[in-house]
Chain A
Amino acid sequence: MYNQITSNKRKSLVLITLFVVILLALGWAFGIYVEDVYVGLALAAVISVIMTLVGYFRGDKVALAVAGAKKIERRDNETLYRLVENLAIAQGMKVTPTIYLIDDPSPNAFAAGRKPEKSVIAVTTGLLATLEKVELEGVLAHELGHIKNLDIRYMTLVVVLVGTIILISDILTRTFIFGGRGKRENGGGGAILIVGLALAILSPLIAELIKLAVSRQREYLADATAAMTTRHPEGLASALEKIAKMDLPLRRANHATAHLYLANPFDPHVTKKKFETIFSTHPPIEDRIARLRDM
């Protein structure tokens, strides 16, 4: 558990470095396009610093805003509040996470934040309506597992940083393709422009792969943590089973925040074809249920 925390801190740093490198490369390509490399690099440096700060300090707010989540107080839902509070104590956390509610019939939940003391948990109204108390406890324990393992720091950074790369590459690809014809005659940098274009097309792919590679192992680990804190793996297992059976996508599902959620917000079930399993942010739900029932 404590090793996981160290590994998440390290991975967050690696992610930031990778983000800066990719952005500088994109900036360089843009610089060549506008025939002043320094302008491109300076622009990339400024954007990467700003977005890293935003990702680190405001990433949770971004994720909550994308989901349309609203903060709730103790008096709004005493049972939910107490469940979270007790699970936080059972995990030895000093501060109870702030709880947010997403008005959506699809049962799902996520956690975000840069450290456990400043973390948030968001659950959908569908989750509260669908699940029994022990099942809800399992789900909340899973989210608290992400918080305790410090998965949230990495996952929240990913929301903003990967989102930024995808957005910028998208803009650059369009610029290179649609604005490139006039320039090529006097510049003669056709080869470099192709490299730039390749870079712009490839970087969101790399960014997407970063997201995929990390989030699946995390889900299994958080499931295990939930089983250990609640001493009742069946709670989470049957919650996942219900979610799989409903298979109701989230109305405001977004690719930038998909990896944060308990179940894949686009396709809660994640089964069907081999292709989808490979490119899903989440492991197949049956596999998770089977592992929980095996504990």
Chain B
Amino acid sequence: MPTYLLIIIAVVAILVLWLVAVFNSLVTLRNRVHEAWSDIEVQLKRRYDLIPNLVNAVKGYTKHEEGVFTKVTEARANAMKSQTPAEHAKSENMLTDALKSLFAVAENYPQLQASQNFLSLQNDLTDAEDKIQAARRFYNGQVRDLNTKLQVFPNNFVAGSFGFKKEAFFDAEDEKINQTPEVKF
């Protein structure tokens, strides 16, 4: 076999191996993003489950505050319908606002503030929100890894032809996800 043929075979083989490696790592990263998203959904559901109890607890002590309750219930239903990270980010923010007004109302009722049930629900809700934040951080980290891998040269050619797409960050207003502390060793 002539030498140039061997060289061509070697180059093709290396190219194929490289393609396989890039493809596999992209699949792994994409699966990690999807897994991280389902972790967020678990935490979001925890919060949805707490809200009816909270509304009932507040209802027991207050009068003429129907407007707030409907707002919370609607925001919850709306959030539960959301599908994509972008939709969720928007509807979750609305839900958070609605809950804020619920707690604002609750402040006017000292008896409610002293209720053990209400306090423990409030505590659980804070915890659920902390957990959503935590899951979101992990998710955004995974998305960042995937997106970087997709965009760098020459991976971007492979990614495009195999139909890999950039995934969306789960944004919240209070935190800038791009502000990762720089790590040096």
Residues of A within 8 A of B (CB): 82, 85-87, 89-92, 220-221, 224, 227-229, 231, 233, 291, 294-295
Contact = CB atoms under 8 A, between A and B. Distances in A.
Nearest to B43: A89
Contacts of B32: 92
B184 A231 contact: no
A89 B181 contact: no
Contacts of B43: 89
A291 B181 CA distance: 12
B138 A90 contact: yes
Contacts of A229: 137
Contact of A295 (B127, B131, B141, B183): B183
A63 to B, nearest CB: 27
B39 A295 contact: no
B135 interface: yes
A231 B134 contact: no
B179 interface: yes
Nearest to A221: B185
B135 A90 contact: yes
B130 A86 contact: yes
Main secondary structure of the interface of A (DSSP, over half): helix
A89 B134 contact: yes
A89 B183 contact: no
Contact of B137 (A85, A90, A221, A295): A90
A295 B142 CA distance: 21
B182 interface: yes
Given A220-B185, A224-B185, A231-B137, A89 B180 contact: no
Nearest to B182: A295
19 contacts: A82-B127, A86-B130, A86-B133, A86-B134, A87-B134, A89-B134, A92-B32, A220-B185, A224-B185, A227-B181, A228-B141, A228-B180, A228-B183, A229-B137, A231-B137, A231-B175, A231-B180, A231-B181, A295-B184
A274 B88 CA distance: 55
Contacts of A86: 127, 130-131, 133-134
B181 A228 contact: yes
Given A86-B131, A90-B137, A224-B185, 19 more contacts: A86-B134, A89-B131, A89-B135, A90-B133, A92-B32, A92-B36, A92-B138, A92-B142, A220-B185, A221-B185, A227-B181, A227-B183, A228-B141, A229-B137, A231-B180, A231-B181, A294-B184, A295-B182, A295-B183
A227 to B, nearest CB: 5
Identify the interface centre among A90, A228, A229: most chain B CB within 10 Å of its CB.
A90
B182 A85 contact: no
Contacts of B36: 92
A2 B179 CA distance: 22
A185 B144 CA distance: 73
Contacts of A295: 181-184
Nearest to B35: A92
B135 to A, nearest CB: 5
B179 to A, nearest CB: 7
A90 B134 contact: yes
B51 to A, nearest CB: 19
A80 B159 CA distance: 43
A82 B137 contact: no
A108 to B, nearest CB: 24
The 6 closest A-B pairs by CB, nearest first: A90-B134, A89-B134, A295-B181, A92-B138, A86-B134, A224-B183
Given A86-B130, A89-B43, A89-B131, A233 B181 contact: yes
A83 to B, nearest CB: 9
A141 to B, nearest CB: 11
Contacts of A85: 131
Given A86-B130, A92-B36, A220-B185, A231 B179 contact: yes
B37 to A, nearest CB: 11
A94 to B, nearest CB: 8
Given A229-B137, A231-B137, A89 B39 contact: yes
Nearest to A89: B134
A183 to B, nearest CB: 53
Interface in B4-56: 32, 35-36, 39, 43
B100 to A, nearest CB: 21
A87 B130 CA distance: 10
A266 B182 CA distance: 32
Contacts of B134: 86-87, 89-90
